[in-house]
Amino acid sequence: MSASLSIAFIGTGVMGRSMAGHLQKAGHTLHVHNRTAGKASALLDAGAKWHESAGAAAAEADVVITMLGFPTDVEQSYLGAGGIVERARPGALLIDMTTSSPVLARTIADAAAKRGLASLDAPVSGGDLGAREARLVIMVGGETAAFARAKPLFEIMGKNIALLGGPGAGQYCKMANQIAVAVGMVSWVEALAYAKKAGLDPAAVHASISGGAAGSWAMTNLAPRALGDNYAPGFYVKHILKDMRIALESAAELKLDLPGLAGAKKLYDQVAARGWEDCGTQALYRLYASL
């Protein structure tokens, strides 16, 4: 790829705006669209061009990157009338970095190929902090040639970048990641809820156990937020619920039973039922504190 590209970035929310910002600072020209225009204001102030739809932005770009909320958003943006696949430039590279359905990823790849477009599914892990610090894990599915074109851009946004297989493989890998994340969230929440119930200072317990075998990224980064009553989203409850639904549906297709994941989803359903679906995933601790 050339040093400077015209990039359409669709979805400038909690993570997307940081990811797009890194590309912009690297010298690439941005064409942006987001459902809420105000969330793109910093990028626009720095010179990005606003477009009224994903398709309109795609029509101006060499590369299209999407970072959206739900598979329905992805499907509409790519496959809807006047969408990305229909309006993208000949030879453009399409990269969906949303956590979405492996089946949908393959459908988009097929539709893109029919128009002579390259496509990748490239979901990420690392949350808002990883996006801000350009340390995202990027899990990629697609053809080797498309991956080679995209890798210089991925290296601007992340550190651990891997091609896992053909179309859909990135999403399968992300589902494996989300299974571990969701079940792991239950582990540290229950550990600290237990410590508090036993009369211990959960912050002191956290300091004692987080660096050992019980440690994890979530224990290190999210538990302190929860213990400080900070439930601001790095990753939304509504999005982890979406990911768990996708993973459970995919597991059913594979004829695999995942009782740990099913249990975690039931707990997060309770979190959402209390009106906390726009909180960060650490709000699971809030549920235990309220019981």
Write out the residue range of the structural domain in which residue 190 sits: 172-290
Q: What is the dihedral of CA 211, 215, 219, 220, to 10 degrees?
A: 40
Total length of the chain:
291
pTM as predicted: 0.90
3-state secondary structure of 66: strand
- Average pLDDT (162-187) is 97
Counting beta carbons within 10 angstroms of the beta carbon of residue 48, is it exposed (0 to 12), middle (13 to 18) or buried (19 or more)? buried
| Other residues' Cβ atoms within 10 Å of the Cβ of residue 160 | 14
Least confident window among 73-82, 123-132, 154-163: 123-132
> Per-residue pLDDT tens for 249-271?
999 999 999 999 999 999 999 99
> Per-residue pLDDT tens for 17-44?
999 999 999 999 999 999 988 999 999 9
Q: Could you tell me if residue 96 is inside a domain? A: yes
Same domain flag for 18 and 153: yes
Cα–Cα dist 83/219, whole Å:
40
- Residue 235 pLDDT: 87
Same domain flag for 77 and 152: yes
Q: What is the dihedral of CA 217, 219, 222, 223, to 10 degrees?
A: -170
Instruction: Match 């797009």 to its residue by tokens.
Output: 20
> Per-residue pLDDT tens for 149-162?
999 999 999 999 99
- Residue 185 pLDDT: 97
Strands 136-142 and 118-121, by their bridges, are antiparallel
- Residue 1 pLDDT: 45
Same domain flag for 112 and 207: no
Same domain flag for 129 and 145: yes
Same domain flag for 36 and 178: no
- Average pLDDT (69-93) is 97
pLDDT over 80 at 3, yes or no: no
Q: Side chain identity at 120, as an amino acid letter?
A: L
Same domain flag for 158 and 190: no
Residues 121, 96 contacting (CB under 8 angstroms): yes
Same domain flag for 137 and 19: yes
Cα–Cα dist 284/291, whole Å:
11
pLDDT over 60 at 286, yes or no: yes
Same domain flag for 99 and 212: no
Residue 266: its H or E element: helix 259-273
Same domain flag for 89 and 216: no
- Average pLDDT (115-140) is 95
Instruction: Match 């400038």 to its residue by tokens.
Output: 12
- φ, ψ (nearest 5 deg) of residue 243: -65, -40
pLDDT over 80 at 2, yes or no: no
- Domain tally, the chain: 2
Residue 128 vs residue 259, higher pLDDT: 259
Same domain flag for 182 and 119: no
- Residue 121's domain is classified under what CATH number? 3.40.50.720
- Residue 250 pLDDT: 95
Q: Which residues are catalytic?
A: 174
